Chain A
Amino acid sequence: DAKTTQPPSMDCAEGRAANLPCNHSTISGNEYVYWYRQIHSQGPQYIIHGLKNNETNEMASLIITEDRKSSTLILPHATLRDTAVYYCIVRAYMYSGGGADGLTFGKGTHLIIQP
């Protein structure tokens, strides 16, 4: 799986858009970009994923650059409840299995929403 690089922490004002960057310069053609978040003391929560095209759901938007070497997760109107650690994960959709069949969660970005 390709490695990802995220800033360790970011601040955002409540009500503004939070833009979380992720670099994945070694991403392969069959690898998707996934985003999860973990609110303090809770289990991680799936947010969104994409391959090439930009994606949007009820929680967020995912913008992937044309060369696919980086992406941005956008929370359009951040609230205090969006304070969490956000994980960017790159993973092939069809996994061949064998010993490490799981997602690789790095240290993520600690997003703090300021009132």
Chain B
Amino acid sequence: NAGVTQTPKFQVLKTGQSMTLQCAQDMNHEYMSWYRQDPGMGLRLIHYSVGAGITDQGEVPNGYNVSRSTTEDFPLRLLSAAPSQTSVYFCASAETRVFNEKLFFGSGTQLSVL
């Protein structure tokens, strides 16, 4: 099992560019989520999904889109990147929503928007 895999590990964008952060898990987990972590702060939830075809907003969803067409994949899209989106992004999954407190995290994507 690879667990939760995130790509790319590093990305630099210019303001206004778009990109997709990839997240895949091979544990057949129902629940997947995206967090961002800014320097000196805790993690904040962006979006989450409790199963294929179902997504919902977290604490800081503005500027981000998600979709969940398969159980394995949960990509995060930045449609028009802004410097405020410079952050480290973590994808996490859990077996089901009920047990979502035991989260398995990916290794993160460090994003810089110039």
Using a CB–CB cutoff of 8 Å, the interface residues on chain A facing chain B are 32, 34, 36, 41-46, 49, 87, 89, 91, 93-95, 97, 99-108
Contact = CB atoms under 8 A, between A and B. Distances in A.
Contacts of B35: 102, 105
A101 B97 CA distance: 9
Question: Which of the four size classes fits the interface of chain B?
Answer: 20 to 34
A32 B45 contact: no
B74 interface: no
B40 interface: yes
A106 B98 CA distance: 22
A75 B8 CA distance: 33
Given A89-B101, A102-B33, A102-B35, 17 more contacts: A32-B101, A42-B107, A43-B106, A44-B103, A49-B101, A49-B102, A97-B97, A100-B45, A100-B59, A101-B33, A101-B97, A102-B59, A102-B100, A103-B43, A105-B42, A107-B41, A108-B42
A100 B58 CA distance: 5
B98 A94 contact: yes
Nearest to A98: B56
Contacts of B104: 46
Given A43-B107, A43-B108, A103 B58 contact: no
A100 B57 CA distance: 7
A103 B33 CA distance: 10
B42 A106 contact: yes
Interface string B11-25: 000000000000000
Contacts of B56: 97, 99, 101
Given A43-B92, A100-B45, A91 B57 contact: no
The 7 closest A-B pairs by CB, nearest first: A43-B105, A102-B45, A105-B42, A105-B43, A106-B42, A43-B90, A44-B105
Contacts of A42: 105, 107-108
Contacts of A91: 101
Given A42-B108, A43-B90, A101 B103 contact: no
Nearest to A34: B101
12 contacts: A44-B90, A44-B92, A44-B105, A89-B101, A99-B57, A99-B58, A101-B97, A101-B100, A102-B59, A104-B42, A107-B40, A107-B42
